[in-house]
Structure 1
Amino acid sequence: MNEKAITAVATSIRSLSMDAIQKANSGHPGTPLGAAEVAAVLYGEILKHNPADSKWADRDRFVLSAGHGSMLLYSILHLSGYKVTLDDIKSFRQVGSNCPGHPEYGMTDGVECTAGPLGQGVSMAVGMALAESMLAARFNTANHKIVNHYTYSLVGEGCLEEGVSSEACSLAGTLKLGKLIVFYDENRISIDGSTDITFSEDIAKRYEAYGWQVLKGSMYKPAEILKLTEKAKKCTDKPTLIMLKSVIGYSAPKAGTADVHGAALGAEGVKAAKKFLGLPEDKDFTVLPEAYEYFNSKKASFAAAEEAWNEEFDAWSKENPKLRAEWDAYFSDSETAEVPDVEFSATDKMATRAAGGKVLNMMAQRYGNLTGGSADLAGPNKTELKDCGGIYSPANRTGRTIEFGIREFAMSAVCSGMRLHGGLRPFCATFLVFADYLRPQ
């Protein structure tokens, strides 16, 4: 790893972020200034991705769960070669901008999901990791692994305080989603001050109790971040939380305080931060040449990774024409079997939930990518899928009935992540009185 280049990328992330937020006079500089290194290492050295094709099916996924720090994501997307221009960054938070205040799915190239409400991003990442495992079990063969990628997420203090992340991460541990790796930007600051006010539990022990592997390091040691990620990948039966000690708003005059979380630094603050970083104080939106050069040197290897997968996919398709047809149906939401409609008459005496269960099972037979379940209510909700592989579990990744447990909010977020991943059509169910638990998602 070229640590000098990674440092140039991290410095450029800070430069673009502070200037975009200052120009907009709105935004959250704390996260991009404090966590620039993990973004630089992730997009430069860790992710399997090709910025020239953000929809590559077997790309690694990254979810910025701390979506208020959106300039971190926009900056690294620009630097690494996604369709985010410098002019886009200069129009941060403006009407019609390609860089809105929070990442918006379908608006900005390279953004995997809409993130902002804390805890929901990492919960959707759980769904993406679940989808990867399910599709891998369905389509991989002894000769070819065409589904083989990781899901990463960056969380902050707020994400880990929200209940939805607790629900989802508990489920991820139970399901042994070993290809889920979450980075924790551990700065111990929130809007009202130190998190000691409200947040005193031992996070490492909590996640270990969930069934996760927990690793610890520093945000400001790129080689250590890479080494910890490599260790995380070796743990195949547990998701991993990598706790990275950091300083919110690193380089700014008010670094380490709540004041730097959610407001522009001010002209003097920006000037002081640039001086600290060795950037020209009288120039805005500086990108160090080494940062562009680094990612330009990566273009060929990024493209080669996708090309190698395309060759693998073509070979798999020739060997498995029926599976290929099924793959195409999964990713286009097309029928995989001709199944007649369920019919009812006006004289049928049947509870609506029972009728719904019959229709659901008919649809599951017609569409092979239909999967899902309920929040510990499979019996009352009639959501168990018959003859569809049984219950999804660590021992049975092909099962299409998912037991979400009593986790309504996480259930909805996980299903959203599964859908955003692609290839699956998830559903979830609960009693109507619990519907408001799902509504935020």
Structure 2
Amino acid sequence: MDSAILIVLLIVGLALFFDFTNGFHDTANAMATPIATGALKPKVAVLLAACLNLVGAFLSTEVSKTISHGIIREDQLSSQTLLPIIFAGLIGAITWNMLTWLLGLPSSSSHALFGGLIGATLVGASAAAIDFGQVLSKVVLPALIAPFTAGVIAFVATKLAYAMTRRYDSKPDGRDGFRYGQIFTSSLVALAHGTNDAQKTMGVITLALIVAGFQDVDHADPQLWVILACAITIALGTYMGGWRIIRTLGKGLTDVKPAQGFSAESSTAATILASSAFGFALSTTQVASGSVIGSGLGRRGSKVRWNTVGRIAIGWLLTLPAAGAVGALGALMVVWLGWVGIVIDAVLAVLIIAGLFLRSRQNSVHAGNAMSEVADSGHAVKVKRNPPPTRRQRAILREEARRRAEEEARLKAEKKAKAKAEARKANDERRAAEKKAAGKKANR
């Protein structure tokens, strides 16, 4: 029992660290577009996202049940087998999260977790211990359908937004009123993110508690302390701000205008909240990326940077197998070496995390430069413009211009007259001096 308590403590610590990386990795899902359009200042945006992630974590536990009582058949495995598998799977998920964060790729923290757990289970137990029906219905299919669905919704919403506000086409930055709407929609995305992503860590910890015998298998709901710990941790991670990924989503895919941002965030929030209600462990990153791309296609004249889309798509495809491979290696060390393997896994995980973090400091991305390094980012930032003058104001401006012209003419005339007077005075003085000199010569 002492060894079980120790491994559970290690899993809880590692799971909370994964929750932390999930927070700063996925901040961009809610706040990239309002930061890009100037609707919210960067630090205000991440603080708002952190608070709403904290609230959202308390609103639903359906996704947690999918993780803790669905993907892995825990009833077929002993605690001595399953607990190290969970530990190795978390290492795979964290490693992939840190790597994609360093590269600025908005990959899926959710699929990194699933990949790590599946890879570790395949090596540490067998394929029979995985419920592939649940994996297909609640992980794979939503991963394929949700981004496309969100993109279509964002495309239609953007088209409607521009059609209904066509009279504002003459404005250089267009439809500034949508900026205020973005504050609401981005907040809704942050709330939805808390209802979905925070649950995954709760599910992992609950699974470990069930396997170790610290929680009844018939009660898959996370305990209160688990909800509190995960909610606070993901909120802290969110507040740290994943500026690298915010830069990619906010300006790397397309130049986001206010109406686009509003449409993309509305689509993202609707898709995530609907999925959370059904217990689908959705990738909020994939949904947000699909929405941004759809909104870019929906605005006439907008350009989607397909090379960046290609990089993101490659990251999506590699997430499950890459995290699974790391999880499998971690599980293999445990199978071969037992507790020594767990210690080696932990040490290697710390070294990898530290190395990736130190590497990120060489090219730091923060609130001050997250948008400035992207081409033409100034076009998406709110610029205060004065309204055109009224007829009365134009008349006043003309009268002021006339008065200024008269004043300038008067001053010019006075200056010219003064110059002439000074020239006459100098000429008179010269003549007087010549006459005086001629008189002295005559007297001699």
What's the TM-score bracket when you normalise by the shorter of the two chains? under 0.3
Q: Which has the higher contact order (CA 8 A, sep 6+)?
A: 2
Q: Where is the strand percentage greater, Structure 1 or Structure 2?
A: 1
Task: Give TM-score scaled by structure 1 length.
Answer: 0.23
Task: Give TM-score scaled by structure 2 length.
Answer: 0.23
Q: Where is the helix percentage greater, Structure 1 or Structure 2?
A: 2
